[in-house]
Structure 1
Amino acid sequence: MPSIRLLSRLASAFTTPRSPEDFLRLVDPLASARQLRGLVTSVVPETADSVTIRFRPGKGWNAHEAGQWARIGVEIDGVRHWRSYSLSTGAGQDPAITVTAMGKVSTALVRGTRRGDVLFLAPPEGDFVLPERPRPLLMLTAGSGLTPVMSMIRTLVPRRADADLVLVHSSRSPEDSLFREELLELADQFPGFRLVQWFTGERGRRLDLAGTGDLDAACPDWRDRAAYACGPAEFLDAAEALWQREEGELRVERFAAVVAPGSGGEGGRVTFEKSDTEVEADSATTLLAAGEDAGLMMRSGCRMGICHACVTPLLSGQVRDTRTGEVHGEPGHLVQTCVSTAAGPVSLDA
């Protein structure tokens, strides 16, 4: 029986100068031996600035757990950009991402994605997932931080009669609140799910986590629940400080690395040696962002709260740590690309 390699060589003889894979993609756009792809099956508006994009992944995709995220690649003006997005559908369901038009890539996805488009994918990742054993849960979310938690709710609430989950979600107004109608229906149908909506436009302020008053009113037994939180950095900082004081159990998912203003470092030319790519980056652009803007698939879990997933060997040059302002670096050192900018010419093993 002919080997697969021999069959591939025979096929190539008939398709040269194109590869057999090029012709296969005309029939199946997901066919690729080099890059995992997904075919967009629907684009559903959620708010004026948000959509849910469902897609059918090709071979090589691993079914996601509730709360996980995946890196999505989209081509803009001929350059492939990669970003991390939470998967908003329940475990075992076809994957989807819910995107709000903020930033270049997210805005392009929201405004330009159509049914039949092809997305570039990386397999699901992340450990912001449901506990292994059933227990009372409290979910604290704000804005688009609801997205990974919605995956958990869709997984747990309709499927478990013993579900005991309280969601306290903060948004500007009912019109800006993601999945509002679905959440109201779930709360009406399932007694184990309670929804507390906090509209800042009506209340005039955010949920106050500096003290316990707002939480005591929203969920009196919050201290007895395993808590999850996802949202803006200041919201999560306050939640972590509160739970630390109360010695409670809290799991946090961050969409951005914790970055503070620093000093020093003037930017410079960044060379990604393995990818044979060079870009100019200013002092405000992290090495991670510089690589992604150049179309590279940079390793990162920072936006999802997974620290040190982006570390990359430094071959030459120095970098500035945006958290402290410290300029450092010697050949062979591992640098966190999500919180490092170029301090002059930099070469990375990426």
Structure 2
Amino acid sequence: MGVREVALSAASVFTAPYQPQDYLRLVNRLSSARQLRGVVRSVTPECSGSVTITFRPGRGWHAHEAGQYARIGVEIDGVRQWRSYSLSAPAGEDPAITVTAVGRVSSHLVQHTKVGDILFLAPPQGDFVLPTGPRPLLMLTAGSGITPVMSMIRTLVPRRPDADVVLIHSARTSQDALFRDELARLAAEHESLHVVHRYTGTDGRIDLTTPADLDRLCPDWRSRKAYVCGPAQLLDDATAMWHEHHAPDALSVERFETALLADGGSGGHVVFEKSDKEADGDGSTTLLELGEDAGVLMPHGCRMGICRSCLVPLRAGQVKDLRTGEIRADEGDLIQTCISAPCGPVHLDV
């Protein structure tokens, strides 16, 4: 038995019939047997309605790798809402997320988070991470897609003299470019980092339909392991480029969202049976969003139809896959709620 266990056993004489941990939880807001939590240590303004939120996680968190993401939960109007955010801090340091005020949860985090607040957490995950051995790297990012790549750069460049990183980042204007000043400082201090900013408001977007722009911006791009993160169009174009003009396995892609059909489903009334909640859907709002807005604790992960963590049994009715248009109507079918919308009345087993 360890020292901690001996101390707790001795203390239980004075705390019976309760356990010492029960009293510890009253004074330690990070202590929870059911839910991992973190306390906000700093909120740093970035640019264009963005902030970096650094937090200290409680027990149960495992150190993140550079490039990974984590699910973050926050209470809004009494309902706990969850979203996935890339971790922007370097590996080995307290985790941080950099959030732009787009959407309900992100806007709430940007506008209302303060030091001392409690965030609900899930452990870091994802395989958009640095290679195991030294090799030349190309980072191709746009907008908030720079967030996981910034974690990689902060981890690699100051610590590895053999690093060789080219970052090509697109933003609408220089004022919209996240981490611009820090990147300039890092590039000045380390010859291993070369930064190219592309301001689409004046320069236009990088054309990835041919290799011409990449040949000009990074002539040796074919010899580098490439990472791309940003809007769906950038990711689709880069994937096509590497398939046609190089090697697909030389490219790692991180997606924040997936393309959904514009017309959606027909809409309908959704009953969340186990939670005793109901909601009306318009046909383009996903079942996941409808449930969360109604106060249902919905399982989810990537929110893009990839990880399948959001699967919920269909009890009755039919739903439409907003990526493909496929209609699902078999009772007992496992429905991906993050990419499905109701088509008429729907009952879900959640």
TM norm. shorter chain > 0.5? yes
Query: How do residues 55-204 of structure 1 correspond to structure 2 at under 5 angstroms?
Result: 55-203=55-203
2:173 is the alignment partner of 1:211: no
C-alpha contact (below 8 Å) 2:52/2:96 kept by paired residues? yes
> Tell me, which stretches of 5 or more residues in structure 1 are unaligned?
none
Q: Which amino acid aligns with 1:181?
A: D
Q: Distance in 2 between matches of 1:49 and 1:110?
A: 7
Q: Distance in 2 between matches of 1:8 and 1:342?
A: 53
2:221 is the alignment partner of 1:222: yes
For residues 40-87 of structure 1, the C-alpha deviation after alignment (integer angstroms, 9 at most, x for no partner) is 000000113000000000111111111111111111111111111000
C-alpha contact (below 8 Å) 1:264/1:326 kept by paired residues? no
C-alpha contact (below 8 Å) 2:315/2:347 kept by paired residues? yes
C-alpha contact (below 8 Å) 2:62/2:123 kept by paired residues? yes
Offset of residue 199 of structure 1:
0.9
- Worse overlay, 23-32 or 64-73: 23-32
Q: Distance in 1 between matches of 2:182 and 2:60?
A: 31
2:237 is the alignment partner of 1:238: yes
Q: Which amino acid aligns with 1:63?
A: A
Query: How do residues 333-344 of structure 1 correspond to structure 2 at under 5 angstroms?
Result: 333-344=333-344
Q: Which secondary structure does the structure 2 equivalent of 1:345 belong to?
A: strand
Change (3 A) 1:130 1:14: closer
C-alpha contact (below 8 Å) 1:141/1:168 kept by paired residues? yes
Identify the residue that residue 272 of structure 2 maps to in structure 1: 271
Offset of residue 272 of structure 1:
5.3
Tell me the TM-score normalised to structure 1 length. 0.90
Q: Distance in 2 between matches of 1:67 and 1:151?
A: 6
Identify the residue that residue 246 of structure 2 maps to in structure 1: 247
Identity within the alignment, %: 58
Change (3 A) 1:280 1:25: farther
Identify the residue that residue 322 of structure 2 maps to in structure 1: 322
For residues 273-328 of structure 1, the C-alpha deviation after alignment (integer angstroms, 9 at most, x for no partner) is 3x45433332111122223333525222245x844343333233211011232322
- Could you say what the CA RMSD is over the residues aligned between the two structures, in angstroms? 2.7
Change (3 A) 1:283 1:224: same
- Worse overlay, 89-98 or 251-260: 251-260
Change (3 A) 1:37 1:263: closer
Q: Distance in 2 between matches of 1:270 and 1:246?
A: 49
Q: Distance in 2 between matches of 1:50 and 1:264?
A: 33
C-alpha contact (below 8 Å) 2:128/2:253 kept by paired residues? yes
Q: Which amino acid aligns with 1:315?
A: R
Q: Which amino acid aligns with 2:251?
A: L
Q: Which secondary structure does the structure 2 equivalent of 1:344 belong to?
A: strand
> Tell me, which stretches of 5 or more residues in structure 2 are unaligned?
none
Change (3 A) 1:9 1:289: farther
Identify the residue that residue 260 of structure 2 maps to in structure 1: 259
Q: Which secondary structure does the structure 2 equivalent of 1:129 belong to?
A: coil
Identify the residue that residue 291 of structure 2 maps to in structure 1: 291
C-alpha contact (below 8 Å) 2:229/2:255 kept by paired residues? yes
For residues 168-221 of structure 1, the C-alpha deviation after alignment (integer angstroms, 9 at most, x for no partner) is 000011211111111111111111111011011231x11111221211111001
C-alpha contact (below 8 Å) 1:270/1:281 kept by paired residues? no
Q: Which secondary structure does the structure 1 equivalent of 2:46 belong to?
A: strand
Between the two proteins, the alignment pairs up a number of residues equal to 343
C-alpha contact (below 8 Å) 2:265/2:319 kept by paired residues? no
Q: Which secondary structure does the structure 1 equivalent of 2:153 belong to?
A: helix
